[in-house]
Amino acid sequence: QKEVEQDPGPLSVPEGAIVSLNCTYSNSAFQYFMWYRQYSRKGPELLMYTYSSGNKEDGRFTAQVDKSSKYISLFIRDSQPSDSATYLCAMSPSTAGNKLTFGGGTRVLVKP
Amino acid sequence: DVKVTQSSRYLVKRTGEKVFLECVQDMDHENMFWYRQDPGLGLRLIYFSYDVKMKEKGDIPEGYSVSREKKERFSLILESASTNQTSMYLCASSPLGLAPADTQYFGPGTRLTVL
C-alpha cells in the first residue's frame, strides 16, 4: 500500500464550479502538508502548505488537514479553465532535509 | 525568482548507454533532489544531496548514481540505461531551512526515452 493515496482522476468540472481534491496517508509522523500544481510539460510548483491540522485559505484556494483521519483536502472555488492541471499532494514529517512523500496526482479539467 | 534548469527537455537513448542528466539552480540552495515521475505513481525520490559532495539514497536509487561537485549543479547518471528507466525526470532544490515555506522548487523536467 502506498504511503500517500490520491485519486488519479481525471476530474472534469464546468467553469465556476468548486473543485474538491483529497489525499489520504498512513504515516502519522507527517506534519507538513503541501499542494503542488503541475501544468502539462512543466515541473510542479508549490500552491499551498499547511502545518499540522486546520484550514488555510489563499484567494480561491482552501487547504484542510485532518490529522486524526489522516486526510487532507484542497478546494478551488470559482474554478477557471486556467486551473486545469495535475494537482499533487506532498507531505513531510519535518522540514529537515525537506524530504517529501508525494501522492500520485489528480488531473483536473475545467471546461469553459 | 528561483530558477532550476535541466539540460534537456527531451532525450532518446539506447539500452546500455550511459546517460547524464544535468540540473543547475541559481538560488544558492543547499538541498538538491532527483525524482522520476510515472503515471499513477507520482514523484519518487531517486537521490538527494544536502551539500557539495554529499548524497543520500532516496526510495528508488537502483540503477542510478549522482554527482555534486559544485553547490549549484546536481547530476543524475544512468550507468547502463534500460527500457524501464523511460520516464520523466525532475530535479528540485530547496534551502536548508526550518520554516515550512522552505519547500522544493522544481525544474521543467527531462522526458527520457530508452529504446
Whether residue B101 and residue A49 make contact (CB cut-off 8 A), yes or no, is yes
pLDDT at A92: 86
Average confidence score pLDDT of chain B: 91
For residue B108, the model assigns a pLDDT of: 93
- Spatial distance between the Cα atoms of B24 and A105, rounded to a whole number of angstroms: 26
Q: State the pLDDT confidence band at B83, using cuts at 50, 70 and 90.
A: very high
In this prediction, residue B10 has a pLDDT band, given cuts at 50, 70 and 90, of very high
* The three grid cell numbers given for residue A76, joined into one nine-digit string: 478551488
CB proximity under 8 Å: B 16-75 to A: 31, 39-45, 48, 50, 56, 58
Nearby residues of A9 by Cβ (< 8 Å), 6 or more positions away: A106, A107, A108
Phi, psi of B8 (to 5 degrees): -135, 145
pLDDT tens profile A57-80: 999 999 999 999 999 999 999 999
Among A92-101, A102-111, B31-40, the least confident range: A92-101
User: E-strand spans in chain B?
Assistant: 4-6, 10-13, 19-25, 31-38, 42-49, 56-57, 64-70, 73-78, 87-94, 105-106, 110-114
Give phi and psi for B35, each to the nearest 5.
Answer: -120, 160
pLDDT band at B82 (very low <50, low <70, confident <90, very high): very high
Decide if B31 and A43 are in contact by the 8 Å CB cutoff.
no
- Which of B21, B27, B43 should be substituted to probe chain A, the one whose Cβ sees the most A Cβ atoms within 10 Å? B43
Residues B63/B78, Cβ–Cβ less than 8 Å: yes
pLDDT digits (tens, 9 = 90+) for A33-55: 999 999 998 899 989 888 888 89
Please give the pLDDT value at position A9: 84
- Of B44, B56, B106, nearest to A44 by CB-CB distance is B106
Number of A/B CB contacts below 8 angstroms equals 64
Residue-level pLDDT at A50? 87
Which residues partner with B48 through β-bridges? B33, B56
Is the pLDDT at B57 greater than 90, yes or no?
yes
